[in-house]
Amino acid sequence: MVTALCPPKKARAEEAPRAQLDAGPPDGPPPPGTDWPPRSSRACRFKRLAVPANCSFHILGVVGWREGGVPARPPVRPRRCRAGGTREGSCPPPARLMALLLLALLALLALWGLLCARAGTPGPAPRWPPGPRPLPLVGNLHLLRGAQQDEALMQLGKQYGPVFTVHLGHQKTVVLTGYEAVKEALVGTGQELAGRPPIAIFQLINGGGGVFFSSGPRWRAARQLTVRALHGLGVGRAPVANKVLQELRCLTAQLDSYEGRPFPLALLRWAPSNITFTLLFGQRFDYRDPVFLSLLGLVDEVMVLLGKPSVQLFNLYPRLGALLQLHRPVLRKIEEVRAILRALLEARRHRTPPRGPQQSYLDALIQQGQEKDPEGLFTEANVVACVLDMVMAGTETTAATLQWAALLMGKHPRVQSRVQEELDRVLGPARLPRPEDVHALPYTNAVLHEVQRFITLLPHAPRCTVANTQLGPYLLPKGTPVLALLNSVLLDETQWKTPRQFNPGHFLDANGRFVKRPAFLPFSAGRRVCVGESLARSELFLLFAGLLQRYRLLPPPGLSVAALDTTPAPAFTARPSAQVLCAMPRLQGC
């Protein structure tokens, strides 16, 4: 595009100026007093413009005259003219332009200084723990042996020390092994290690909300409400103990119906799951209720899917996983669970007054949502996320632990006999156990603790630094994922006499009294210790003692004790594989 001078609209109707433009400039320099082009001309644009031989265009399109073939300085003209008039002036001189540029530069420097002052001085450089050298793309994944990843990480801990660095794909992660390192990190750092890393699949499931996989203000608000609600519902006291004993009666009625024939080990999930549902929804379900069975089945499927290698690959490479749709099966099942939870939540909302006694966890969430929530901590989505977390955790952890306890009693008949001797001596054949009996049943209590130590239901405690964190000689920057291996604590050779063997003596002193061991951390430790620990302890003790008081658990006919499989099934938690046992009713002293 070429800028030239041409007449305005008004001048187009005037023939003389137009004729002057069409004719072009006269030969040679313009005569004195001659105005060419006319003053009434304006700036316009042409695609094509015939330029006389003795004229030349300058940058702004002003015509200059040639004298002897040498371009002459163009006459001083307005650089831009408006239609209907002209504006006298010229380009800013170079000195003024330089002054403007200098002022702009000074303004940018001042803004940069202000931003630096707000951000503060840069922190010290991070000091990472040692670790194996990563490979491109895969990091150190080639060192982790599929289903035995925890064992591989513990071996790396022996090579590089209890605190070391691994690259899980592109993610730089600090791993903690052994009691001392885990305790120092989870307990000694306080709030600095209370964050949760953004695990891809759980970000999609709960959107960063809920109780267990959230961080920051949403986590603190959800945890405080959950602890307050469980305490108000009577967890650890008589109200919840009575609900557990009621469920124990229903469970024994189911086992009685088998009359000593083999029953599926998964049947033991019903009682602890129903206790959780009673606290969450304010109602107990019949074992044949379709909602109850659907919810249990969906939770079971989700736990299996979360443990699949495809989901682990999605967590390591979210973009690749999304491209391959690796997360879709989990999300479809989660949406079915959400649909049931929304229906239960809506039904409960119509029965929950804005103020008044809370009869369930849903009541606490509903009343909290009815209050002012300027930060949006209890939106409808986050309420459903909290309930989903409690359903998944409450129906899986305690239920799987009770199944393991029954299986290990069938595997170790001598231990089972000693437990039953103690129960007969303290409780007799008819009186059901109570929470306060735990102190009078030290061996039973020790066996239950050893079950939890031996199985390591949740091997990992993923954390994330919420600030630059000093961990021994190392300095971890904010946002560093930290993986505390709880199984390395529960198998620590410096803390347990025979860590790879099932040995209730780990929790007994020389006089047979129960001993609480500091390295017993199945519920994690620190600020993010399991919110349902108190409920799980009471629930497991009453159900376990009640079952062994009434039944002798044996392998099915034709199967030896040694044939009972204690290899964990592939799932998100270390649950037992599908098996059957026989619950033989006991006579007093048998």
The DSSP annotation for 255-270 comes to HHTTTTSEEEGGGGGH
Burial 91-111 (b: 16+ CB within 10 A, else e): eeeeeeeeeeeeeeeeeeeee
DSSP 188: I
Domain C-terminal end among 52, 71, 90: 71
pLDDT for 7 beyond 70? no
Determine phi and psi for 101, rounding to 5 degrees.
-65, -40
Q: Does pLDDT of 557 surpass 60? A: yes
| 22 pLDDT higher than 70 | no
Residues 6+ apart with CB under 8 A from 339: none
23-37, 129-143, 290-304, 492-506: least confident range: 23-37
At 351, is the pLDDT very low, low, confident or very high (cuts 50, 70, 90)?
Answer: confident
Residue 131 lies in a domain: no
| pLDDT tens track for 176-198 | 999 999 999 999 888 899 999 99
How far, in Å, CA of 241 to CA of 279, rounded? 12
Residue with tokens 């990472």, as numbered in its chain: 128
The pLDDT score that the predictor gives to residue 3 is 43
pLDDT digits (tens, 9 = 90+) for 378-389: 888 899 999 999
Question: Domain of 62?
Answer: 2-71
Q: Does a structural domain hold residue 108?
A: no
- pLDDT number for residue 14: 45
Quickly tell me which residue has 């099942």 as its tokens: 333
pLDDT of residue 5: 42
Structure confidence by residue, pLDDT tens digits, 523-555:
999 999 999 999 999 999 999 999 999 999 999
Domain boundary among 71, 93, 119: 71
Q: Is 530 part of any known ligand binding site? A: yes
The answer on 518 and 384 residing in a single domain is: yes
Distances in Å between the Cα of 137 and the Cα atoms of 129, 134, 165, 172, 321 are 21, 9, 16, 12, 14
Judge whether 303 lies within some domain.
Answer: yes
Mean pLDDT of 150-177: 95
Residues 190 and 65 in one domain: no
Under the banding of pLDDT at 50, 70 and 90, the label for residue 16 is very low
- Judge whether 145 lies within some domain: no
- What residue type is assigned to position 396 of the chain? E
Average pLDDT over the chain, rounded to an integer: 85
In this model, does residue 75 exceed pLDDT 80? no
Kindly list the distances between the CA atom of residue 239 and the CA atoms of 78, 245, 413, 502, in Å, as whole numbers in the listed order: 93, 10, 34, 34
In order of 164, 186, 446, 497, 525, the CA distances from 494 in angstroms are: 19, 19, 19, 8, 19
Average pLDDT over residues 497-502: 96
- Predicted local distance difference test score (pLDDT) of residue 8: 45
pLDDT at 500: 95
Q: What is the pLDDT of residue 97?
A: 78
**How confident is the model over 353-367, as a mean pLDDT?**
85
Residue 240 within any structural domain of the chain: yes
pLDDT tens for each residue of 77-129:
544 444 444 444 455 567 777 888 878 888 887 787 666 655 555 567 889 99
Model pLDDT, residue 28: 53
Q: d(Cα 372, Cα 463) in Å, to the nearest integer? A: 31
pLDDT of the residue at 91 = 53
Q: How many residues does the chain have?
A: 590
Residue 375's pLDDT is what?
A: 73
521 CB-contact burial (10 Å; exposed 0-12 / middle 13-18 / buried 19+): buried
Q: Is residue 86 included in any domain, yes or no? A: no
Last residue of a domain, one of 47, 71, 95: 71
Range in 23-32, 153-162, 480-489, 514-523 the model is least confident about: 23-32
Mean per-residue pLDDT for 470-497? 95
Is the pLDDT at 268 greater than 50, yes or no?
Answer: yes
pLDDT value at position 107?
83
Q: Give the phi and the psi of residue 279 in degrees, each rounded to 5.
A: -70, -35
Does residue 129 lie within any of the structural domains?
Answer: no
Domain count, the chain: 2
What whole-number distance in Å separates Cα of residue 201 and Cα of residue 207? Answer: 9
Is 109 part of any domain? no
For residues 271 and 248, the answer to whether their CB atoms sit within 8 Å is yes
Residue matched to tokens 């996989």: 213
Residue 137 has pLDDT above 80, yes or no: yes
C-alpha 231/C-alpha 239 separation (Å) is: 11
pLDDT for the residue numbered 190: 80
Here the contacts of 330-337 (C-beta below 8 Å, separation 24 or greater) are 330/201, 330/205, 330/302, 330/305, 330/306, 331/204, 331/205, 333/298, 333/301, 333/302, 333/305, 334/205, 334/302, 334/388, 336/294, 336/298, 337/295, 337/298, 337/299, 337/302, 337/388, 337/391
pLDDT at res. 11: 43
**Cα Rg for the chain, rounded, in angstroms?**
39
pLDDT of residue 101: 81
Token readout for 33 is 């007093």
**Tokens read off for 119:** 């951000």
Any idea what the CATH number is for the domain that residue 205 is in? Answer: 1.10.630.10
Cα–Cα distance measured from residue 119 to residue 270, given in angstroms and rounded to the nearest whole number: 54
| Bridge partners of residue 551, in order along the sequence | 585
Per cent of the chain over pLDDT 70 is 81
Contacts of 285 (CB under 8 A, 6+ apart): 274, 277, 291, 292
Mean pLDDT score, 245-267: 96
pLDDT score recorded for residue 444: 98
What's the average model confidence in pLDDT over 128-138? Answer: 95
